[in-house]
Structure 1
Amino acid sequence: MSSSASFSKVTSSSVLTATCILGLLYFGRDVLEPLALSLVLSLILAPLVRALARTGMGQMPSTLIAVLLSSVCVLGVCIVLAAQMVAVTADLPQYRAAIQTKLETVREITERPFARIQAELRAVAPALPVAPAPTRRGGATLAAGQNKPIAVEIRTPELSTTATVTRLLSLVSGPIGKAGLVLVLLVFILLEHESLRDRVVRLAGKGEVGRTMRALGDATEGVSRFFFSQFLVNVVFGTVVGAALWAADVPHAALFGALSGLLRFVPYLGALVAGAAIALFVAAIDPGWTLALTCVAIFVGLELIVANVVEPKVYGHSSGLSPLAVMVSALFWGAMWGPVGLLLSTPLTLCLVVAGRHVRALEPITILFADTPNTSEAQRFYHRIISGDADAIIRDAHAYLRKFNFARYCDQVLLPGLALGADEYATGRIEKTQQNKVRATIAALAEAVVPISGSARKSRRPRRISMLDANVGVHLRQMRQLHLGRWQGSLDVPPGSIALAAGLPNERDDLLNELFVLSLREVGLDARSVSAAAPDEGPGPDRSDLVSTVFLTYPLKDTLVQWQVVAGHFRERLPQALMVTIRLSPDDRDADQSIVEHSVDMVLRTYEEGVALLTPEAPVPA
């Protein structure tokens, strides 16, 4: 499969290349950090620039206005937060008594268990020898042979005004310088957006233009959609938190609401930091613990609702990453680039995941970190049926059948999934226990999705009979005969109302026949099956008018002659019936279709075509 093929190409040279890339990311952070931040911001602002350009502005005015608006918004938020922080700092002295009381309470609670343990250990520990008492000399306590210590006082020289201003500028110039560099890079990247895209396409080569354009489009759309959706959710979250704290009479509620919304941009860790900050502040300003616990409960409840209800409905998996991938990417980029890497972890990893869908060398990243594994429904079905996970298969089947019928489920999921293990089954690489799991799971699935009685009921383990370990198709037919009688239903039905599925007496044909019978019965058709080993199971010659259509399983090369004999038998026995065969997923083992067509009236390709061929006139007999 593609995933195993991707990992099988890992060589020493690829490991060395990955190591060099990691070293470049770590040691080149001073250059790569502002560049990566500018690129991500350009993806976020690109829709705004295009919207302004559509109003008739040129590329440069649109870019400058977009960057100016964004800068003003960010600067305004920073000024408001700074003013709020100054106000909080000014109000802290009046909360000093409450803070000291809370610290004493917390210290007592945390130290008391350890003090009790230490006292108990001292009570049971043997007495240690007492060291000789130190001698006193000149009023000071000295050990033997030790000179009298000399007191030393260290004084920090007072800074002049010039030195203070210089230190302040050195502290501020670093972040301001990086912000200015990011702003300049952002403007040039937005101005050269089209040119950069053309250069990337040229680098990819003429034969990869379509794939490169799709990759760039997916990355731009994914990052923009993710950040816009997250921005809306976080603004609403911060507003609700601020309103809740204001209703609880917590001072500076707007500050903590804004911090809650901003910190949620940092995956997982941001929400924890915001909750801890609110809890510490409220605990400091209130003499008791009721208000602090209430605020924490409100914050946790809102976070759980937003994370598990609001976000999946608003943007679902728009990040394109699984929850574990978001956490791993935050740890990786945080270790590489610190706080900036923590903030950029999701968009950077998202770009790599999108690139992995189009670049084969990055495919393992997509397989590991994408929100859905790079496997089809048929592959997931095969993996689960080999492990015997019947509950998961039945759950997925019910979800699929809410949109489509059982015939399409067989065509798209069940039969392609079983076909993935055909080679392993033929070569004996699937153990006997796994084969039994496959048969038992198919039987449980058939009984759960299309109950024999025709009424919906909860799935349960199928009754164990001997044929299940040998032939699941025969088992399903016997179960239907057990419920509906020898003829799998009444023979007192209108003429031409029965569809008969027939095949050779082997496990393949029996299973295909039973699955097709289930597909027909699901839509209300009177479908029954018969094996060439027991042709008397069907209606006798005197009731041949009851059968309108005979569906024969498509033959293999090895069984073509035997199949032609069976087809001739049904043609002679049911001359008025339409003879149809269904060729599912043609492969090299199938018989030549030009030969098969001489024995039947029609060759179909899917079960859905077989269901569509018949008109549901008669209900499924009880």
Structure 2
Amino acid sequence: MKVNFAVTTACILGILYFSQSVMQPIVTALVLSLALAPLIRAMGRMGLSRVHATFAALGVVIVAFVGAMAVLGANVMALSSDLPQYSAEIRAKTKRLEKMVQHPLARLAPTLMESVPAGPLPEAGPRPMPVEIRERTSTRDAIAKTIGVVSGPLGEAFLVLVLLIFILLDRENLRDRVLRLVGQRDVSRTIQGLEDAAEGVSRFFFTQLVLNLTFGVVIGLALWLIGIPHAALWGSVCAALRFVPYIGALIAGAAIALFAAAVDPGWTLAAYAMVLFLLLELVVAHVVEPRVYGHSVGMSPLAVIVSALFWGAIWGPLGLLLSTPLTLCIVVAGRYIKSLEPISILFAEAPHANAAQRFHHRVLSGEADAIIDDARAFLRKATLARYCDKVLLPGMALASSDLLSSQVDHFRATVAMVADTLAAGQAKGRGRGRRISLLNENIGAHLRHRREERLGRWQGPLDVPARSVILSAALPGMREEFVSELLVLVFREAGLDARSYVIKPDAEEDDPGAEQLISTMFVSYPVDSNLDTWAAAVAELRSALPDIPLATVRPREDVEVEHSRVAAQVDLVLQSFEEALAFVAPRHPG
């Protein structure tokens, strides 16, 4: 299997590299067709037919491109007329830099020569005369070279334009052919993949166009404010070069610095220009682009860099320009094509792991701080009940299934720190819980004892209104007590008076009038091993508090327990903490 994969990969890379002249125009036209699709749809909504909308969209793009080139050419011509006075300043500064570099080297050379022992000098002989061979170029050869230089890029651009027109006009026919090749069974997945790829590439090009144009306008205004001539030209150059990933920004910055050095006799203007460019580039690259491209590209920053290196090595400058949209198409295809799934996992903005799986990975690694940061981000948008249902309990179930014996204490300490932080956030604001190395008790007991330290033996005052307390009871045990304490935290976050209780058959405790204070009682859902003990304990609770509604929350991972026996013992079986919160909230409107 691995040999077949390696051979297939080598064949694909060979085809991409050795068929550049054929593949580059076709791929460029396909990518441009995806980029123009939104504009064509917008033209179609204006009442134009598909053919008319296609040519209208192409006309708008061509006119905009020609107009931009005309403005850029006019600025270049204006700059060329001023180049003689700028070139003199560049030569003067170059000589000064040479002197600055050569002066210490000139002093260093005699010192080095003195340290070398003297030896016999080589005999002087006649020096050979350099011979230079010059080839005479005829007028016809010069014209042919000029035509070749011009016709090459123009011919390729014309070929791409022709392919683009045919692809846009025959788009539906091409999609039907692709679907026919895939087969009838995967039609829905293929259609969804094509739509996602088209939407992703269109969104990327539109976002990149808006962002680069905005950057060009801002840098042009900034350069104009500090007094650099032809600021509009350099803003346009920056906007155009930023379409080339990473390298374009470096080239634009170097060109601006060189021109600023040619304009000003000193170095002040060049320093101002470089500082302005670097500040804007850093803000855009590290603040704006991660937020904007994170939603428009769907690829991680590392994936963008790797794709630029790969396609640049395979197809040169054109591959560098097309690297992000091409890789984006492959990443989207990996969601629907099994063989491309590894690329999608490695290069996608977010790996194919939900919040519970990330909790599972991090809790096994002991990354409590990362889990707490994720929990805080989750709780800013959702409730603690949803966090327990979607992240904490499923993640703990995943971790427990492949937990090694050597990881048990580490696992308990990490989970205890996370739960302790959640409890501390309710008591003292959003503070990070104290770090816990090892526990001498289970996590549920630890949380209950922390609450008793703050609120007293009864976890709160007893002079409260009748039927205002929610009691969460559990049999002694790590799992049961932890789930019970989580339920108390969920209720307390909602502003309800919730307290916990451990059912101990032989314990004798003072009765603070529980039957008058308790409104609802929850009991932890049992596991198969202690179902009989749980049933007996629930029967005792029934006899002690006959008028109190008794409910239980069934975690989704507990599927091995006989549900009918559990349901017969309680009044209500709820499926999640969110359901439990919705059940008790109307009963406690205050």
Give the TM bin, normalised by the shorter chain: over 0.9
1:606 aligns with one of 572, 576, 584: 576
The structural deviation recorded for 1:93 is: 2.0
1:582-621 to 2 correspondences below 5 Å: 582-589=553-560, 591-615=561-585
1:578 aligns with one of 545, 549, 561: 549
C-alpha distance in structure 2 between counterparts of 1:372 and 1:118, whole Å: 58
The structural deviation recorded for 1:120 is: 6.1
The structural deviation recorded for 1:229 is: 1.5
Q: Which residue of 2 aligns with 1:269?
A: 247
C-alpha distance in structure 1 between counterparts of 2:238 and 2:272, whole Å: 16
The structural deviation recorded for 1:54 is: 3.2
Q: Which residue of 1 aligns with 2:504?
A: 533
Q: Which residue of 1 aligns with 2:321?
A: 343
C-alpha distance in structure 1 between counterparts of 2:291 and 2:435, whole Å: 38
Q: Which residue of 2 aligns with 1:131?
A: 120
Which stretch of the first structure deviates more once superposed, 382-391 or 333-342? 382-391
Q: Which residue of 1 aligns with 2:62?
A: 71
C-alpha distance in structure 1 between counterparts of 2:70 and 2:509, whole Å: 85
C-alpha distance in structure 2 between counterparts of 1:469 and 1:190, whole Å: 70
2:15 aligns with one of 9, 24, 28: 24
Q: Which residue of 2 aligns with 1:327?
A: 305
Which stretch of the first structure deviates more once superposed, 363-372 or 49-58? 49-58
C-alpha distance in structure 1 between counterparts of 2:255 and 2:135, whole Å: 35
C-alpha distance in structure 2 between counterparts of 1:221 and 1:394, whole Å: 35
Q: Which residue of 1 aligns with 2:97?
A: 106
1:268-287 to 2 correspondences below 5 Å: 268-287=246-265
Asked if 1:473 is matched to 2:451, the reply is no
Contact 1:447 1:462 in 2 (8 A): no
CA distances 1:205-237 after superposition (whole Å, capped 9, x unpaired): 111111111111111111111111211121121
Give the SS at the match of 1:597. Answer: helix
Give the AA of the match of 2:352.
N
Q: Which residue of 1 aligns with 2:383?
A: 405
Give the SS at the match of 1:317. Answer: helix
Contact 1:525 1:619 in 2 (8 A): no
CA distances 1:35-76 after superposition (whole Å, capped 9, x unpaired): 111001101112222222333333323222322332232233
2:421 aligns with one of 430, 445, 450: 445
C-alpha distance in structure 2 between counterparts of 1:111 and 1:449, whole Å: 65
Contact 1:501 1:552 in 2 (8 A): yes
CA distances 1:263-292 after superposition (whole Å, capped 9, x unpaired): 111112211111111001111222100001
2:84 aligns with one of 75, 81, 93: 93
Give the SS at the match of 1:521. Answer: helix
Q: Which residue of 1 aligns with 2:398?
A: 420
Give the SS at the match of 1:156. Answer: coil
C-alpha distance in structure 1 between counterparts of 2:147 and 2:198, whole Å: 37
User: TM-score if structure 1 supplies the norm length?
Assistant: 0.89
Q: Which residue of 2 aligns with 1:6?
A: none
Contact 1:525 1:616 in 2 (8 A): no
C-alpha distance in structure 2 between counterparts of 1:202 and 1:616, whole Å: 56
C-alpha distance in structure 1 between counterparts of 2:555 and 2:354, whole Å: 18
Give the SS at the match of 1:598. Answer: helix
User: TM-score if structure 2 supplies the norm length?
Assistant: 0.94
The structural deviation recorded for 1:313 is: 5.5
Give the SS at the match of 1:519. Answer: helix
Change (3 A) 1:536 1:90: same
Asked if 1:459 is matched to 2:448, the reply is no
Q: Which residue of 2 aligns with 1:547?
A: 518
Give the AA of the match of 1:12.
V
Q: Which residue of 2 aligns with 1:189?
A: 167
Contact 1:504 1:563 in 2 (8 A): yes
Q: Which residue of 2 aligns with 1:371?
A: 349
The structural deviation recorded for 1:416 is: 0.8
Asked if 1:306 is matched to 2:284, the reply is yes
The structural deviation recorded for 1:409 is: 0.7
Contact 1:388 1:441 in 2 (8 A): no
Give the AA of the match of 1:598.
A
Change (3 A) 1:557 1:35: same
Change (3 A) 1:184 1:284: same
Q: What is the root-mean-square deviation of aligned Cα atoms in Å?
A: 2.4
C-alpha distance in structure 1 between counterparts of 2:74 and 2:433, whole Å: 65
Contiguous gaps of at least 5 residues in structure 2: none
Q: Which residue of 2 aligns with 1:508?
A: 479
Which stretch of the first structure deviates more once superposed, 290-299 or 243-252? 243-252
Q: Which residue of 2 aligns with 1:7?
A: none
The structural deviation recorded for 1:304 is: 2.4
The structural deviation recorded for 1:314 is: 5.1
C-alpha distance in structure 2 between counterparts of 1:199 and 1:225, whole Å: 25
Give the SS at the match of 1:550. Answer: strand
The structural deviation recorded for 1:103 is: 0.9
C-alpha distance in structure 1 between counterparts of 2:507 and 2:96, whole Å: 88
Change (3 A) 1:596 1:321: same
Contact 1:387 1:437 in 2 (8 A): no
Task: Give me the identity figure in percent.
Answer: 47
Asked if 1:59 is matched to 2:50, the reply is yes
Give the SS at the match of 1:130. Answer: coil
C-alpha distance in structure 2 between counterparts of 1:132 and 1:524, whole Å: 97
Contact 1:381 1:413 in 2 (8 A): yes
C-alpha distance in structure 1 between counterparts of 2:20 and 2:170, whole Å: 23
